[in-house]
Structure 1
Amino acid sequence: MTTHSVSYLDNPILDTDSYKASHWLQYPPNTDATFFYVESRGGTYDRTVFFGLQAVLKARLERPVTHADVDEARDFFAAHGEPFNDEGWRYIVDTHGGRLPVRVRAVPEGSVVPTHQALVTIESTDPRTYWLPSYLETRLLRLWYPVTVATTSWHARQTIAHYLDTTSDDPVAQIPFKLHDFGARGVSSAESAGLGGMAHLVNFLGTDTVSGVLAARAYYGEPMAGFSIPAAEHSTITSWGRDHEVDAYRNMLRHFAKPGSLVAVVSDSYDIYHAIKEHWGKTLRDEVIASGATVVVRPDSGDPVEVVHRCVSLLDEAFGSIVNGKGYRVLNHVRVIQGDGVNPDSIRAILERITTAGYSADNLAFGMGGALLQKLTRDTQKFALKCSAARVDGVWRDVWKDPVTDQGKLSKRGRMTLLRQRESGTYRTVPLPGDAIAMPPEAIEPGWEEAMVTVWENGEPVREWSFADVRERAAAGR
């Protein structure tokens, strides 16, 4: 592959859908501004955790367009069968230094917002580039992915927190490492691993997705957003041979089991129940206790609800447990992590089973892979980016769609912003007056506040969030 071929993949003008190239010719004559918005039109969850726009903007809108990009795009679309707005893109390069003349406003990242509310607005800032917000839809709407991952992770956190609050003496200290990201190998690309892995880290500290940690560093300035521990995989156990399974486990103890440490050992390469009863519970029991470490046993097959319950019971027989202040049993020296078949439903079912059996949620951690980072689509939360207003002949007109065959796709109309009720945290999408960028303070009723801020304007960041900001906001659920 030549260098020239690779450059196409980095060309901002080509990061769009093919049909977008013709849309500058399709708006009404004398259009000189357009206004778009992003919302979740419902879906699996009734609230979304807004996250990832800052990363999308920095990754995809920060680099200025050049005349070389325009040349390349012109030649591509000519061969591809689409018209190309050569004059419009040359104007952006010559007049704006290649920086895109749009304004992006959004709710603060980490905000937990009910569905059916505007989360982002995008508008043109130069009358000659009224067509640009639509052109950017493809790249901007990709924020559905980090929002949906952050939302899935956040709701899983609420489930786990419920069981910890009921059964743990210290639920606040327990929660950060209760759901570990195992998804890096199950996603479609390294970019997805970065965006999705980072989105999970809004809610938890445990991850094996290195790309997510690096993305949080690159886009949100967080030096170390997530942590991991030494852990075995099947190859490091089965390479010892079945007759030496216990030696593989002992090797893990000798290398990694130190006072106060955690070490995770997959133990179902052959027979998880035999491994717990004989290897961990008898042969290695004294070594585990003497090490001062906590050994985290990992089953990896079978029915998650049944297998986890039986593993916890067998470990209790082998190592014993104490009854905590809330009347639930906490295992001595050992824990269980379930990473197979884990999704929001199975997390709830597993926790319901073991807590009903009298065991604290302290005893468990979860690893979620495909269900966290890949088993979702834009339709999981029904994300859409739509035009809601256009200025034609100097007058703003409302723009919307209202398909008779699907009222769920009825879109909002007019220029808009989002307001938040300070005391209750209620949100409300409202129309903007005239050409106002934000709602004038005098127009906001008492007790309410503007919930959107300008985050990006004319190719430059205006407001950035730290990862700590995002986490604090998501944890507060506001």
Structure 2
Amino acid sequence: MTNPLLATDSYKQSHFCQYPPEARRISAYVEARPNGFSEDVLFFGLQAYLKKVLLTPITAAQIAQAGAVCAAHGVPFNRDGWQQILEDHGGLFPLEIKALPEGTLAPSGVPLVQVENTDERMPWLTTWVETALLRSLWYPSTVATLSLKCKEIIYRGLLATSDDPDAQVPFKLHDFGARGVSSAESAALGGMAHLVNFAGTDTMEAVEAASTWYGAEMAGFSIPAAEHSTMTSWGADREEQAYANMLEQFAAPGKLVAVVSDSYDIDNAVNRIWCGSLKERVLNSGATVVIRPDSGDPVATPLRVLETLWSSYGGTENRKGARVLNPAIRVIQGDGMTLKSIRELVGELVRQKWSVDNIAFGMGGGLLQQLNRDTMRFAMKANAMKTADDHWVDVSKNPVSDPGKASKAGRQAVVERDGRLQAARLDNIDPATDQLKPVYRDGRLLTDWSFDEVRARSNGHLAQKVAA
């Protein structure tokens, strides 16, 4: 969809004639309502929407196209309103958007964004953008939150078993989710959200997005790695040769190469080949060869592989009393990894005195696709209306049938009290203390967060959570 006038729900095309006649401005906010997934949300993704959509003027051709589509579709079309935006605002949306700094970890129920129309002829515009704005926020923020939850589990495991947890953690969860999402844009936004917390990815749209929207020079990295087709094309009788070719092509001093090794029998491949016929080539290569089991129990299988590798390659015991394999050999577990299985596997590694240094984790659809807007109950709701007599009146909902869907009344603010962010009414605080700061106004970007700034903010929150 390239016409922003059609990037909304059909029913919103009729809302311009539904507000009361005294309406001049509408204020609305976005939050992740209290939910069963996470007490906090890692806010991320707004800047991509601002730059991609709101900094691009609408055109007369888009108005004409949207008018024709709406007529055929059976809904009204606010041609006069869009024409005013085109002629009086150069095609740029007359809105003010305030937001928390991206990378902020905010409690659920705390507003992340607040939107208000600046042209008083257009109170309908604030909530008209809900559809595109909300999906630009809920998805990357939910992925970023899930990724951070995984990072906390892994980091705690590293603190218990690694001599250098801070250097280890950036590459401990690798994104394999590009093929499992619904669109290239989802891969870009979700993959980029994961990169707020980690530096390992195979989603190339994500590194492009981080560069385009947040100025990252290179946000994510990968290594040469085998897939089943490149291994099984050699045939079962040449499995060893397939692995040997990987060493010949990619194993050099200081390099890493990952080899999927379960095409036929993971235990045979590890015992007979990696710990047998190819062992000396691995040791002499100067590289680190990463063995990838890709089937079986996601906890028991990698633990079994580690034990086999230890019996052959050996290693050392670090200062935490945990076993660290010979640096020539490592394991990555990318199959069946979820928040639950990562927690279980890390727990077993710690219990069995394995350093988490020995293993990396990978996630695909579980990271980028197996979530939705209801995972963290994201919503955008109107909270105030400015009337013709220049007064703001409260706007809210409070359904008897579901009190959990009650919305906030009055223009919102976010304040910090006792080190934690809280929602407040804007008219009850000193506006200077409001953590919601203008990021967009009338076609101008007011704040341009760099990817490094977002990452630093998220890393700071992780350090606080672990220290608490």
Q: Counterparts in 2 of 1:56-455, with a 5 A limit?
A: 56-142=49-135, 143-332=137-326, 333-394=328-389, 395-421=391-417, 424-433=418-427, 439-441=430-432, 449-455=433-439
CA deviation profile, 1:369-418 (whole Å, cap 9, x unmatched): 00100000001110000000012232211011101111111100101111
| Residue aligned with 1:129, SS | coil
In structure 2, stretches of 5+ residues that fail to align are none
Structure 1 segment 6-17 matched on structure 2, within 5 A: 9-17=1-9
Amino acid at match of 1:140: L
The alpha-carbon deviation at position 463 of structure 1 amounts to 0.6
Q: Which residue of 2 aligns with 1:32?
A: 24
Q: What CA deviation, in whole Å up to 9, does each residue of 1:185-210 have, x standing for no partner?
A: 00000000000010000000000000
Structure 1 residue 425, shift from structure 2 partner: 2.6
Q: CA deviation at 1:255?
A: 1.0
Per-residue deviation, 1:324: 0.6
- Tell me, yes or no, if the aligned pair for 1:417 and 1:439 is still in contact at 8 Å: no
- Partners in 1 of 2:375 and 2:270 — Cα distance? 39
The answer to whether the Cα contact below 8 Å between 1:181 and 1:207 also exists between their aligned partners in 2 is yes
Secondary structure of the residue aligned to 2:244 is: helix
Q: Deviations over 1:128-171 (max 9, x none)?
A: 11110111000000110000000000111000000000000100
CA distance in 2, matches of 1:221, 1:30: 43
For the residues of structure 2 that align with 1:310 and 1:232, how far apart are their CA atoms? 21
> What residue number does 1:445 align with?
none
- SS of structure 2 residue aligned to 1:82: coil
Paired position in structure 2 for 1:5: none
| 1:358 CA drift (Å) | 1.6
Give the letter for the 2:341 counterpart: S
Structure 2 residue matching 1:172: 3-state secondary structure = helix
Mapped to 2, the partners of 1:356 and 1:271 lie a distance apart of: 27
1:296 is paired with a residue whose SS is strand
CA distance in 2, matches of 1:326, 1:92: 63
Please give the per-residue CA displacement for 1:84-132, whole angstroms capped at 9, x wherever unaligned.
1111111111100111000000000001111110110000101011110
Aligned partner letter, 2:434: E
Instruction: Tell me the distance in 2 between the aligned counterparts of 1:65 and 1:414.
Output: 31
**What is the CA distance between 1:354 and its match in structure 2?**
2.2
> What secondary structure is seen at the aligned counterpart in 2 of 1:191?
helix
Name the residue aligned to 1:4: none
Residue identity in the other structure for 1:470? V
CA contact (8 A) 1:12 1:61 kept: no
Secondary structure, aligned partner of 1:113: strand
CA deviations over 1:18-56 (Å, ceiling 9, x no partner): 000000111111211000000000220111111000001
Instruction: State the partner residue of 2:454.
Output: 470
Deviation at 1:349, TM superposition (A): 0.5
Amino acid at match of 1:241: G
The answer on whether the counterparts of 1:277 and 1:314 sit within 8 Å (CA) in structure 2 is yes
Post-superposition offset of 1:352 = 1.1
TM-fit CA distance, 1:440? 3.0
Q: Secondary structure at the match of 2:199?
A: coil
Q: 1:390, 1:41 → 2: CA distance?
A: 22
Secondary structure of the corresponding residue to residue 98 of structure 1: coil
Cross-structure match for 1:42: 34
Partner-residue secondary structure (3-state), 2:373: coil
TM-score, scaled to structure 1: 0.94
Residues 1:23 and 2:7 aligned together: no
Task: Kindly state the Cα deviation for residue 439 of structure 1 after the two structures are TM-superposed.
Answer: 4.3
Report the Cα distance in structure 1 between the residues aligned to 2:431 and 2:370, rounded to whole angstroms.
42
Taking a change above 3 Å as real, the CA distance of residues 188 and 439 of structure 1, as seen in their structure-2 partners, is: farther
| CA RMSD between the two structures | 1.2
Q: How many Å apart are 1:60 and its aligned residue?
A: 2.0
Q: Which residue identity lines up with residue 411 of structure 1 in the other structure?
A: S
Amino acid at match of 1:166: A
Counting aligned pairs with the same residue, the percent is 52
> Partners of 1:190 and 1:234 in 2: how far apart?
24
Q: Distance in 2 between matches of 1:42 and 1:204?
A: 26
Unaligned segments of structure 1, at least 5 residues = 1-8, 442-448
Three-state SS of the structure 1 residue aligned to 2:44 is coil
**What amino acid is aligned across from residue 68 of structure 1 in structure 2?**
A
